[in-house]
Amino acid sequence: MSKVYNVAVLVGSLRKDSLNRKVARALAELAPANLKLNIVEIGDLPLYNEDIDITPPPAAYSAFRDQVQQADAVLFVTPEYNRSVPAALKNALDVGSRPYGKSAWSGKPGAVISVSPGAIGGFGANHHLRQSLVFLNVPCLQQPEAYLGGAGSAFDESGALSEKTRPFLQAFIDAYSQWVELLKKA
């Protein structure tokens, strides 16, 4: 039996019933047996400020950094706000990258899926986030690229994943599973 890898899932949208959170939950259900996906909440993180990141740092910073540090891999599910990532997600990247030289992100296999009701599926946010992940040393899954446009139709009225969307998400999470295996065995 292969090792089970713990994946920290960061959802860029803070809304309780956001499409992004629904996609994150659907991916957790579709994940192969070697991945255990856990959503790491980012909504209560104070804006990063080096003046308050002293000994001891805010409890929310420490708890968040510990959750990311303990994960084997990271998965980002994000909407697009103004052709970029939401401020809460960028803040989480900043909090996890500090203090300098002790980034919780470094070396963790990553992947990005952007989710939008719009036609281009959050393309701008997806690529903007990838730029930050390069600097943070998060080796990111390159293929398949994952942009879920028209996401309003990805779930039916009861909240179940549509049969039209299921194969797309399954292919993505299966590829990510292989990516995590490859990098963690290297």
Contact 48, 90 (CB under 8 A): no
Structure tokens at 165: 């969307």
According to the model, what pLDDT value does residue 180 have? 98
β-pairing, 73-78 vs 5-11, is parallel
Tally of domains in the chain: 1
96-139 pLDDT per residue, tens: 999 999 999 999 999 999 999 988 899 999 999 999 999 999 99
Q: What is the DSSP letter of 176?
A: H
According to the model, what pLDDT value does residue 168 have? 97
Buried-exposed string 91-105: b where 16+ CB fall within 10 A, e elsewhere: bbbbbbbbeeeebbb
Tell me the CA distances in angstroms from 118 to 47, 56, 105, one per residue in order.
Answer: 28, 43, 30
Contacts of 132 (CB under 8 A, 6+ apart): 85, 90, 93
In which residue ranges of the chain is pLDDT below 70? 1
According to the model, what pLDDT value does residue 174 have? 98
Query: What pTM, to 2 d.p., does this model score?
Result: 0.97
Residue numbers of the domain that contains 22: 5-185
Helix residue ranges, H only, the chain: 19-30, 59-70, 87-96, 123-135, 166-185
Whose CA is closest to 32, among 5, 9, 69? 5
CATH of residue 10? 3.40.50.360
Contact 129, 78 (CB under 8 A): yes
